[in-house]
Every structure is written in structure tokens, then in C-alpha cells.
Amino acid sequence: MYARLILGAMCVGLALMSSVSARAEVSGSTENGFTVRHSVTVPLPPPAAWAALVDVGRWWDPAHTYSGESRNMRLDPFVGGCMCERWGMYNGTQHLTVVNVRPPWSLRLTGALGPLQQFAVTGVLTWDIESGAGGSRITMTYTVGGFSGQSLAELAIPVDGVMVTQVERLARFIGTGSPEAVKVEPKTEPKR
């Protein structure tokens, strides 16, 4: 998994070098919680960045869904709205609940993503969008706290890896219309 994350990060870096700059960090962690933060600069103004952000089914990583399909994700960008995933007649999960909306500047949701749902923890996921540098700067902050029966500090690095993937996919979607990384083919020498 870590090799895949490192390879993915390298591909993203190559693909976005000229148009998107990313900054990432685990900004704090303790036995009972952690905060991860990632920022990217995208070439579109805040209203367009906002529209892309709330169209979560077009950019969320399918590897981090229960159904394996991003298109099953939806985000209702109003207070009490759901970031939910539904597939089939009865299958589904509520990933997060919207608690604060200020289009096109800020979106805040609460809940425990993915495997964090099995613990007595909650998280606050905030997306902030600012004007700047011919486009927008998007900052994602996810703070998780509570009780898990194990150190939450140990979960900070894996959650950080998942969240940086999401931010990079959003940036690619905004910049190119596709969240997928450009595949870099190895150079081969012609046979002589």
C-alpha cells in the first residue's frame, strides 16, 4: 500500500508540476486524535473550484469507497446534507454530514471516514477556498478525535495518505477535467 502511495505521489508530482503546487502535513497527533492538512493551487476561480469540490462523485478515489465506484458518491452542499455513497437497492453509507456551508469559500462536514467509523471517534473535515495567483488555493483540514482502543496517532499517517490522494484528485479534476494521474511510461531503447 505504501509503495502504491509513493508511486502515486511521484506520478502526481510529475503531472501537476507546472499547474498545481501541493503542500501536505500531519500538523498534529496525539493518542486521542490528529489533524492532517493539504493545500493545492488550481487554475480556476473559487466559484468553479467550489462546483468541482461538491461534484464529489466525479473525483473521489474509487479505492476509498465501499462500492468501488466513485459515481456512487454524492455530496448535498447544504446544512444537514450528506456526503453519502449508495449502490444497489439497500446498500449505502453516510460518510459525513454537512454542518457549515459558505459557497464558494468554505464547506465543513463532520463524521468518521472509512474504517474510522468502527471507532468511537468523529472528525471535522473543512475545505477552504481562497482567491489567488490566477486561480484558487484549496486547503483541506481533517481533524479526528475520540476513543479507538489504540493510539490515534498511529492512524494519522495512513489517513494522511488517503486525504492527500483525495486533494490531488480534486486538483487534477479541476485542472484537466479528469481526476486520474497521467501515466508515465518508462523509456525503452530501440533495438539495434
- Residue-level pLDDT at 24: 54
Helix axes 153-176, 2-16, angle to 10 degrees: 30
The pLDDT score that the predictor gives to residue 13 is: 36
- Given a contact cutoff of 8 angstroms between Cβ atoms, the answer to whether 46 and 53 are in contact is no
- Domain range list for the chain: 2-176
What is the average pLDDT across 89-113? Answer: 97
pLDDT of residue 102 exceeding 70? yes
Cell of 177: 477535467
Phi-psi region of 164 (alpha: psi -120 to 50; beta: other; left: phi over 0): alpha
pTM: 0.82
Average pLDDT over residues 106-121: 96
* 181 vs 142 pLDDT, higher one: 142
Q: What is the reported pLDDT for 20?
A: 44
Does the domain at 2-176 match CATH 3.30.530.20? Answer given as yes
Mean pLDDT over all residues of the chain? 87
Tell me what pLDDT residue 182 has: 81
Total residue count of the chain as it appears in this document: 192
Per residue in 130-153, pLDDT (tens digit) is 998 789 999 999 999 999 999 999
Q: How far apart are CA 15 and CA 95, in angstroms?
A: 29
- Tell me whether strands 33-42 and 120-132 are parallel, antiparallel or unpaired: unpaired
d(CA 150, CA 140): 25
Would you state the cell numbers that stand for residue 139, as one nine-digit string? 486547503
